[in-house]
Amino acid sequence: MTIQVTDFGQTPDGQQVKRVVIENANGHQLSLVSWGASWQSFVTAQGVSLVLGFDDLDGYLHNGYFLGNAVGRVAGRIDAAEFELNGKRYQLDANEGQNNLHGGEHSFSHRNWDIAYVDEAGNSVTFATTMTEAQDNFPGTMGTTVTYTLTDDNEVRLIFGATSDQDTLYNPTSHVYFNMQGVGTDARQLELMLQAPKHLAFRPDKIPTGELLSVAETAFDFQTATKIGDNIDRLPSDAFDKKFDDAFALSYEPGTPAAILTDPQSKRSVEMTTDRNAVIFFITNPAVDDYEDQAAFLAAHPYNGVALEAQTLSDAIHHPSFGDIVLPANQHQEYVTTYAFKNI
């Protein structure tokens, strides 16, 4: 087991961004970047790359699809970019139409995190940063960490932790994109299983209506392993870029996988185990926004990445039944999600 820390580049204002490479006893490598506390890559000992990432810092500085980022304080969308807490109204950055997406423009994803601790014996690295209300408009000064561990069982474990001096909101996730067939291939050919009998009904702007819908006999049913492309074909849309970007309510036995993404040809898979109540399943090709003719681009470059974002159900601050994302003052909160790589 080894951990290497190297320079990855400097931001325009002179911040030094670091790259961390963790290798386990099997020769598999997990790469991380301090900008956004991001998961950059997972490369097997055989040289197969299974996670999408950028090779240079500029990609992370202009990262519209949050590729690999730690996301927070609140992942997902907040309706009208506002909420009320303890009788006070808070107005956030409206960075997607009138709504707040993934914490806004001054979020976890848009900053250079400190490397707080390198645990060579445990094969883990902890990134840390401090959020203030002046920066992101959420209440309170909140110290937060993300710890990545690569085990010799080929598991990548993420622990998100935070403590705030005031009541605030906290619903973090990882926006890592997988492709178990290998980066650059058609992710629609992968099979997905979700322990999710229901999904959220969304408005056109992806804000929840508050209704949970049964997935049974619909395109949203992944309760048994299903080829993703088959269910995309069943979606009621004629859009050239029809896809899943949807919130699924999880129902699983603790300690068992809530999601499994598999390449049926190689049998490689990643199993997600979590303590969260939902997962956002998103399939896309993150490079699509770089092209004016997006339809032509996607016709030649199909969706190549699958994000499985473990979190509390979207916009929970406006839908109390979705889960509690209020972090009380001076109370430490941790969330754990593990991605176990199989048959690699």
Give 132-178 pLDDT, tens digit per residue.
Answer: 999 999 999 999 999 999 999 999 999 999 999 999 999 999 999 99
Backbone angles phi, psi at 170, to 5 degrees: -150, 110
Q: What is the mean pLDDT of residues 231-253?
A: 94
* Token pair listed for 85: 């807490």
Neighbouring C-beta atoms of residue 18, cutoff 10 Å: 19
Catalytic site includes residue 62: no
Nearest to 77 by CA among 309, 252, 305, 294: 309
pLDDT tens string 175-232: 999 999 999 999 999 999 999 999 999 999 999 999 999 999 999 999 999 999 999 9
What gap in Å lies between CA 316 and CA 253, rounded to an integer?
22
Q: What is the mean pLDDT of residues 243-260?
A: 96
The CATH number given to whatever domain includes residue 86 is: 2.70.98.10
Domain, as residue range, for 73: 2-177+320-342
Q: Is the pTM of this model over 0.85?
A: yes
Same domain, 17 and 62: yes
Residue 156's pLDDT is 98
Task: Please identify which of the residues 28, 106, 110, 175 carries the catalytic annotation.
Answer: 175
Catalytic site includes residue 318: no
Written as one letter, the residue type at 151 is T
Q: Is 170 labelled as part of a ligand binding site?
A: no
Residue 238's pLDDT is 86
Residue 338's pLDDT is 98
Same domain, 126 and 43: yes
pLDDT tens string 19-49: 999 999 999 999 999 999 999 999 999 999 9
Same domain, 33 and 107: yes
Same domain, 271 and 154: no
pLDDT tens string 58-102: 999 999 999 999 999 999 999 999 999 999 999 999 999 999 999
**Position 5 confidence tier, pLDDT thresholds 50, 70, 90:** very high
Same domain, 16 and 139: yes
Q: Is 245 labelled as part of a ligand binding site?
A: yes
Same domain, 185 and 173: no
Same domain, 55 and 190: no
Beta-carbon contacts of 47 under 8 Å, excluding residues fewer than 6 positions away, are none
Task: Please identify which of the residues 23, 191, 271, 309 carries the catalytic annotation.
Answer: 309
Same domain, 88 and 102: yes
Same domain, 293 and 334: no
| Residue recorded with tokens 């993420």 | 158
Which uninterrupted H or E stretch holds 146?
strand 142-150
Compute and round to an integer the Cα radius of gyration of the chain. 19
Same domain, 197 and 220: yes
Q: Is 165 labelled as part of a ligand binding site?
A: no
Q: Is 301 labelled as part of a ligand binding site?
A: no
Residue 328's pLDDT is 98
* Token pair listed for 131: 């959020």
Q: DSSP per residue over 221-248, as a string? A: --SS-EEHHHHHHHSS---TT---EEEE
Beta-carbon contacts of 55 under 8 Å, excluding residues fewer than 6 positions away, are none
Q: What is the mean pLDDT of residues 256-266?
A: 98
pLDDT at 289 over 90: no
Same domain, 172 and 196: no
pLDDT at 1 over 90: no
What percent of the chain shows pLDDT beyond 90? 97
What gap in Å lies between CA 201 and CA 319, rounded to an integer?
13
Domain count, the chain: 2
Same domain, 173 and 200: no
